[in-house]
C-alpha cells in the first residue's frame, strides 16, 4: 500500500504506463485549455483577459471554465496549456506568496512571483505544460511578465499566449498604444480575446477580464458573453414508463425520519 | 540547435568586440517559437555584475536561468572574497555550468566587460562547455553569415565610433540573412567609466 | 487505441431541482471481448455522495480503494462527514500527485451538499477539475453522452423527470458505443433517500 502522506509527485505508475504504451496503447489525453489569454499595461495598471473554453482533443470539456487565477490581492495569472498544470502551479505559487507575505509583512512583488514560477517550471524542464501571463501591481508599478513551460520569462507592455495568440496579437499590434484609458483598455482586451474566440477553434465561449490597479483589483467574470445559447424551442422530457427498470432499491438517508441507511429492495418491472 | 519541442529560443545573432578604448557588445532583439516571433524587443545583453555583461543565445529558459544563477554566485563571491569579480572569473563560472550540464543545456554565451585587474576582455562560451578568450566573439545562428565580413573589417585598433559602426553593420547584415535574427540592434559600450546602451533599428544603419 | 478505451465505460451525472442523478453502464470488456456484465463503476461514498470512475478497470478498482481509505481517514481525523467539494479536491490531489504516471480514470462526483444543493464535478485523468451547471459525462461513450445530454437536459427537473432524462441519455448513448452497455445502474439522490434503478439495456 502506498503511504498516503508522501509529498510531491509520485512516479509509481510510470513503468506500467510505459509498458502499456510499448504494447501499442495510446496514453489518454489531458484537458487542455486551447485558449486565448492576453494582457496589457495601461495608464493606471494592468489588465488580463481570457476566453473560457477547455478542450479535450476535439471535445469541448468545459464551456465556461476560469483561466484567470488569483495569486494574491495584487496579482493574477492567466494560464494556457495543460489545464491541471496551470491550476496546480498557480495554486502552489499563490500559497507560497501568501506565506511570504505573512513572513515579510510586505505586499508580495510581481518579480517574486515570476521568479518562483520560472524556477519551478525550469526545474521540471518543460514537462509541466503551463504557459502563463502574470500581471500585477506592486511598489514598482504595473507589471506584465510571461512565463513559458521551459521556464523562460519575457517582460512586455502587451502580450498574448495560447492557441489564439496570433489572432489576439493581430488586434494588439494594430490598436495598442501606451497610456490607454481604463475603458478603452478593457475594450481592447475584450476585442483581442474575442478575436481568439471567433478565429481559433481551441478558444470559445465568454471573455473573463481582471483589472489590477494601485489600490483595487476588479475581477470581471464573464465580462462579455458573445456566445449565449438560444433557449430550447421545445422540451425533450420522456413520459413516465419510458424506461424499462429491472430492479429498484431505496436507501433512506440517516438524517431523514427513517431507520439509518436502510436498504429496501423492490422488484419492479417496467416502472417510472 | 538541440532545442526541445515547443521551446522558446533566442535564435539570435550576438557579437562582442575589443576596441582601442572600450568593449562593444551587440545583439538583435528577436525571440522565436518556431516560426512565431514571441518577442520582437528582447534584451539579450544581460547585466551580470559591475561592468560585466553576457550575451545570450540558444534556449531562452536555459540562458536566463544560468545568467541568474551566475549573477547570484558572483554577488556571493564579491562579499565572501571582499573583492570585485573579474571578467575571467565570471566567464569561468559560466563555463562550469555549461560544461557540467552540457547534455541538458542549449546555451551559447559571450561574456564581456571590464575589470580592474585585466582591463577589457571577451570570452566566447559556445555550446558544449569550452571557453575561448578572443578579441572578437560571434555567436548565435546569425553569426554564420557574417564571419567573412568580420574577418575582413574588424581591427582591435578601431576607435569607439568606428567600432560601434562595425558592430551595427555586422548585426544588420546577419539580421537580413538569418530568419531567426531580427528586430532592433541593441548595443552596449563598456569602458572604465561604465556602460552606455543604445538601440537602433536595422534600417537606420547604413551599409557601404 | 487509447488505454482508457480498453475496458469500456459510460458514466453520466446530472443536476435537477434539489436532486442529482449519477448512472453508469455495466459492461467490462477486454477490448471487444465482454468479460463481465455486472461491473458497476459508480460507488457510494456517503449517503448523499457518489463517485463514478470511468476508465481502465484496474485503476477504477485501485482508485476506489484509495478513495475509500482516504474518506475513512477523513471521517476519523475531522469527525465530520466529507462534503462533495472536499471529496472532489481530495481526488483531484490524488490524481495530480501522479501527474507524470497517471491513473487512466476520469472521476465524476455527484451528490448533495450540506444545504441539499445539487453538486456535480468532473476531472481529467491528472485531476483538472471542471464544474458545470448541468451535466458531466465520462467514459468511452462520452461523445455520445455529450450529444444526448445537450439535448435532454433542462433546468429544474424533479427527481422522476431527471431520472428518465439521465437514463434515456445513458441508454441511447451506449447503444451507439461498442465498448459500453449491457444495462445500466442509475442512482437518484434526493435529500431524503437515494433510489437505485437497475435498467434493462441491449445485450450485444
pLDDT in tens, A213-270: 999 999 999 999 999 999 999 999 999 999 999 999 999 998 654 454 556 665 555 5
- CA angle, residues B190, B194, B198, in degrees to nearest 5: 60
- CB contacts, 8 Å: B4 with chain A: 125-126, 150
- Which residue in C160, C183, C192 is closest to A252 by CB distance? C192
- Give the model's pLDDT for residue A272: 47
- Give the model's pLDDT for residue A268: 56
- Give the model's pLDDT for residue A264: 64
**Cell for A147?**
512565463
- Three-class secondary structure of residue B190 per DSSP: strand
- Give the model's pLDDT for residue A265: 62
- Give the model's pLDDT for residue A6: 81
**A25 band by pLDDT with thresholds 50, 70 and 90:** confident
- CB contacts, 8 Å: A119 with chain B: 65
- Chain segment A167-216, per-residue pLDDT in tens: 999 999 999 999 999 999 999 999 999 999 999 999 999 999 999 999 99
- Three-class secondary structure of residue A143 per DSSP: strand
- Chain segment B29-52, per-residue pLDDT in tens: 999 998 899 999 999 999 999 999
- Which residue in C98, C146, C168 is closest to A242 by CB distance? C168
Does the pTM of the predicted model rise above 0.95?
Answer: no
- Which residue in A118, A121, A154 is closest to B38 by CB distance? A154
How far apart are the CA of A75 and the nearest CA of chain C, in angstroms? 22
Residues 143-162 of A with CB under 8 A from C: none
Mean per-residue pLDDT over chain C, rounded: 97
The answer to whether residue B102 is domain-embedded is yes
Mean of the pLDDT values across residues B81-110?
97
- Give the model's pLDDT for residue B206: 75
The count of residues in chain C is 204
Kindly identify which residue of chain B lies nearest to residue A122, measuring between CA atoms: B61
- Counted domains in chain B: 1
Mean of the pLDDT values across residues C23-32?
96
- Give the model's pLDDT for residue A98: 98
Give the sign of the dihedral formed by CA B27, CA B29, CA B33, CA B34. Answer: negative
Residue of A111, A119, A149, A150 for testing the chain B interface, max B β-carbons within 10 Å: A150
Q: How far is CA B7 from CA A8, A241, B11, B51, in A?
A: 25, 59, 11, 31
**What would be the CATH architecture of the domain defined by C3-199?**
4-Layer Sandwich (3.60)
- Chain segment C105-128, per-residue pLDDT in tens: 999 999 999 999 999 999 999 999
**Contact in structure between C59 and C66 (CB atoms under 8 Å):** no
**Domain extents in chain C:** 3-199
Mean of the pLDDT values across residues A113-142?
97
The proportion of chain A whose per-residue pLDDT surpasses 90, expressed as a percent, equals: 79
- Give the model's pLDDT for residue B11: 76
The reply to whether residue A148 touches residue B59, judged by beta carbons under 8 angstroms, is: no
- Give the model's pLDDT for residue A3: 61
Looking at chain C, which runs of residues are DSSP E strands? 10-15, 20-25, 28-30, 33-36, 42-46, 49-52, 108-112, 118-123, 129-131, 135-139, 184-189, 193-199
The proportion of chain C whose per-residue pLDDT surpasses 90, expressed as a percent, equals: 98
**Type and span of the H or E element at B137:** strand B136-139
Which amino acids of A are annotated catalytic?
A: 35
Cα–Cα dist A162/C10, whole Å: 31
Kindly identify which residue of chain A lies nearest to residue C147, measuring between CA atoms: A59
Helix and strand totals (H; E) in chain B: 4, 13
Q: How far is CA B20 from CA A139, B45, B154, B191, in A?
A: 42, 21, 12, 10
The reply to whether residue B7 touches residue A166, judged by beta carbons under 8 angstroms, is: no
The reply to whether residue B4 touches residue A125, judged by beta carbons under 8 angstroms, is: yes
Cα–Cα dist B109/B67, whole Å: 9
Residue of A146, A154, A158, A178 for testing the chain B interface, max B β-carbons within 10 Å: A154
Is B10 a residue whose pLDDT tops 90?
no
Block residue for cell numbers 512565463: A147
Burial A195-204 (b: 16+ CB within 10 A, else e): bbbeebebbb
- Give the model's pLDDT for residue A4: 58
User: Nearest CA to B29 among B184, B194, B202?
Assistant: B184
How far apart are the CA of A184 and the nearest CA of chain C, in angstroms? 32
- CA angle, residues A211, A216, A219, in degrees to nearest 5: 40
A218 touches chain C (CB under 8 A): no
Chain A touches chain B, with at least 3 Cβ pairs below 8 Å, answer yes
- Which residue in A16, A30, A256 is closest to C193 by CB distance? A256
The answer to whether residue B199 is domain-embedded is no
B39 touches chain A (CB under 8 A): yes
- CB contacts, 8 Å: A4 with chain C: 66, 69-70, 73
Residue of A33, A253, A256 for testing the chain C interface, max C β-carbons within 10 Å: A253
- Give the model's pLDDT for residue B3: 65
| Residue B16 β-bridge partners | B25, B137
Mean of the pLDDT values across residues B61-83?
97
- Which residue in B4, B62, B64 is closest to A153 by CB distance? B64
Mean of the pLDDT values across residues B156-171?
97
User: Nearest CA to B28 among B68, B4, B60, B56?
Assistant: B56
**Type and span of the H or E element at C69:** helix C57-78
**Contact in structure between C183 and C37 (CB atoms under 8 Å):** yes
Kindly identify which residue of chain C lies nearest to residue A86, measuring between CA atoms: C128
The reply to whether residue B61 touches residue A156, judged by beta carbons under 8 angstroms, is: no
Question: DSSP label at B27?
Answer: E
**Contact in structure between C134 and C153 (CB atoms under 8 Å):** yes
Cα–Cα dist B115/C110, whole Å: 68
> In chain A, which residue ranges form alpha helices assigned H by DSSP?
14-22, 83-104, 110-123, 165-175, 182-199
User: Nearest CA to A66 among A226, A189, A208, A202?
Assistant: A208
**Type and span of the H or E element at A69:** strand A68-72
> In B82-208, which residue ranges form alpha helices assigned H by DSSP?
87-100, 147-153, 160-177
Cα–Cα dist A89/A102, whole Å: 20
B186 phi, psi to nearest 5 deg: -105, 135
Mean of the pLDDT values across residues A79-101?
97
Is A1 a residue whose pLDDT tops 90?
no
C194 phi, psi to nearest 5 deg: -115, 125
Structural domains of chain A, with CATH: 37-224 (3.60.20.10)
- Chain segment B119-149, per-residue pLDDT in tens: 999 999 999 999 999 999 999 999 999 999 9
Mean of the pLDDT values across residues C38-43?
97
A13 touches chain C (CB under 8 A): yes
The reply to whether residue B61 touches residue A150, judged by beta carbons under 8 angstroms, is: yes
Range of the domain at B121: 9-189
Cα–Cα dist A222/A209, whole Å: 7
Q: How far is CA A87 from CA A10, A70, A91, A92, in A?
A: 18, 10, 6, 9
**B66 band by pLDDT with thresholds 50, 70 and 90:** very high
Mean of the pLDDT values across residues A137-165?
97
Block residue for cell numbers 453502464: C25
Is C71 a residue whose pLDDT tops 90?
yes
The answer to whether residue B128 is domain-embedded is yes
| CATH number for position B145 | 3.60.20.10
Mean per-residue pLDDT over chain B, rounded: 94
Residues 28-87 of A with CB under 8 A from C: 28-31, 54, 56, 59, 61-63, 65, 82-85, 87
Amino acid at each position: 500500500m502506498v503511504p498516503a502522506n508522501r509529498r510531491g509527485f509520485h512516479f509509481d505508475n510510470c513503468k506500467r504506463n510505459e509498458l502499456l504504451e510499448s504494447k501499442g496503447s495510446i496514453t489518454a489525453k489531458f484537458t487542455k485549455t486551447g485558449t486565448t489569454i492576453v494582457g496589457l499595461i495601461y495608464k493606471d495598471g494592468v489588465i488580463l483577459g481570457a476566453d473560457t473554453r477547455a478542450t479535450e482533443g476535439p471535445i469541448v470539456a468545459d464551456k465556461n471554465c476560469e483561466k484567470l487565477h488569483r495569486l494574491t490581492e495584487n496579482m493574477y495569472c492567466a494560464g494556457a496549456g495543460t489545464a491541471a498544470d496551470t491550476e496546480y502551479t498557480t495554486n502552489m505559487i499563490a500559497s507560497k506568496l501568501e506565506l511570504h507575505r505573512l513572513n515579510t509583512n510586505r505586499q508580495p512583488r510581481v518579480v517574486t512571483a515570476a521568479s518562483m514560477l520560472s524556477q519551478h517550471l525550469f526545474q521540471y524542464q518543460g514537462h509541466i505544460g503551463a504557459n502563463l501571463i502574470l500581471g500585477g501591481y506592486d511598489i514598482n508599478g504595473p507589471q506584465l511578465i510571461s512565463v513559458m513551460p521551459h521556464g523562460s520569462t519575457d517582460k512586455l507592455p502587451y502580450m498574448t499566449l495560447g492557441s489564439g495568440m496570433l489572432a489576439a496579437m493581430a488586434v494588439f499590434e494594430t490598436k495598442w498604444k501606451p497610456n490607454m484609458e481604463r475603458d478603452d483598455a478593457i475594450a481592447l482586451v475584450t476585442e483581442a480575446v474575442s478575436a481568439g474566440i471567433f478565429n481559433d477553434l481551441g478558444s470559445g465561449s465568454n471573455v473573463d477580464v481582471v483589472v489590477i490597479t494601485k489600490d483595487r483589483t476588479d475581477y470581471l467574470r464573464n465580462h462579455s458573453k458573445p456566445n449565449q445559447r438560444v433557449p430550447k424551442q421545445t422540451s425533450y422530457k420522456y413520459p413516465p414508463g419510458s424506461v424499462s427498470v429491472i430492479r429498484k432499491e431505496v436507501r433512506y438517508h440517516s438524517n431523514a425520519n427513517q431507520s439509518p441507511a436502510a436498504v429496501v429492495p423492490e422488484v419492479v418491472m417496467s416502472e417510472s | 540547435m538541440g532545442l526541445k519541442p515547443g521551446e522558446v529560443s533566442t535564435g539570435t545573432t550576438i557579437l562582442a568586440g575589443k576596441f582601442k578604448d572600450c568593449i562593444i557588445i551587440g545583439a538583435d532583439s528577436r525571440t522565436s517559437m518556431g516560426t512565431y516571433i514571441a518577442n520582437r524587443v528582447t534584451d539579450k545583453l544581460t547585466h551580470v555584475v559591475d561592468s560585466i555583461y553576457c550575451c545570450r543565445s540558444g534556449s531562452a529558459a536555459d540562458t536566463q536561468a544560468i545568467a541568474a544563477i551566475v549573477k547570484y554566485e558572483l554577488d556571493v563571491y564579491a562579499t565572501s572574497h571582499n573583492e570585485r569579480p573579474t571578467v575571467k572569473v565570471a566567464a569561468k563560472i559560466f563555463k562550469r555550468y555549461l560544461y557540467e550540464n552540457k547534455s541538458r543545456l542549449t546555451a551559447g554565451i559571450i561574456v564581456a566587460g571590464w575589470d580592474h585587474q585585466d582591463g577589457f576582455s571577451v570570452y566566447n562560451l559556445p555550446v558544449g562547455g569550452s571557453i575561448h578568450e578572443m578579441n572578437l566573439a560571434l555567436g548565435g545562428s546569425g553569426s554564420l553569415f557574417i564571419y567573412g565580413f568580420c574577418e575582413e573589417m574588424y581591427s582591435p585598433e578601431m576607435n569607439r565610433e568606428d567600432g560601434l559602426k562595425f558592430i551595427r553593420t555586422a548585426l544588420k547584415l546577419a539580421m537580413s540573412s538569418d530568419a531567426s535574427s531580427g528586430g532592433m540592434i541593441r548595443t552596449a559600450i563598456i569602458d572604465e567609466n561604465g556602460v552606455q546602451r543604445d538601440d537602433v533599428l536595422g534600417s537606420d544603419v547604413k551599409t557601404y | 487505441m487509447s488505454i482508457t478505451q480498453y475496458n469500456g465505460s459510460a458514466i453520466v451525472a446530472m443536476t435537477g431541482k434539489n436532486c442529482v442523478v449519477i448512472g453508469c453502464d455495466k459492461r467490462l470488456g477486454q477490448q471487444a471481448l465482454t468479460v463481465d456484465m455486472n461491473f458497476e463503476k459508480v460507488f457510494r461514498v456517503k449517503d448523499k455522495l457518489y463517485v463514478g470512475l470511468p476508465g481502465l478497470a484496474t485503476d477504477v478498482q485501485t482508485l476506489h480503494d484509495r478513495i475509500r481509505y482516504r474518506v475513512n481517514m477523513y471521517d476519523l481525523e475531522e469527525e465530520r462527514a466529507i462534503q462533495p467539494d472536499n471529496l472532489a479536491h481530495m481526488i483531484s490531489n490524488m490524481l495530480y500527485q501522479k501527474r507524470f504516471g497517471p491513473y487512466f480514470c476520469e472521476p465524476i462526483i455527484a451528490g448533495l451538499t450540506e444545504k441539499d444543493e445539487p453538486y456535480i464535478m468532473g476531472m481529467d485523468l491528472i485531476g483538472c477539475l471542471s464544474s458545470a451547471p448541468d451535466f458531466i459525462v465520462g467514459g468511452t461513450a462520452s461523445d455520445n453522452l455529450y450529444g444526448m445530454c445537450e439535448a435532454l437536459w433542462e433546468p429544474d427537473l424533479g427527481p422522476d423527470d431527471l431520472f428518465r432524462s439521465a437514463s434515456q441519455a445513458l441508454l441511447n448513448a451506449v447503444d451507439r458505443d461498442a465498448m459500453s452497455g449491457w444495462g445500466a445502474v442509475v442512482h437518484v439522490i434526493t435529500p431524503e433517500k437515494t433510489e437505485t434503478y437497475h435498467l434493462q439495456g441491449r445485450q450485444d
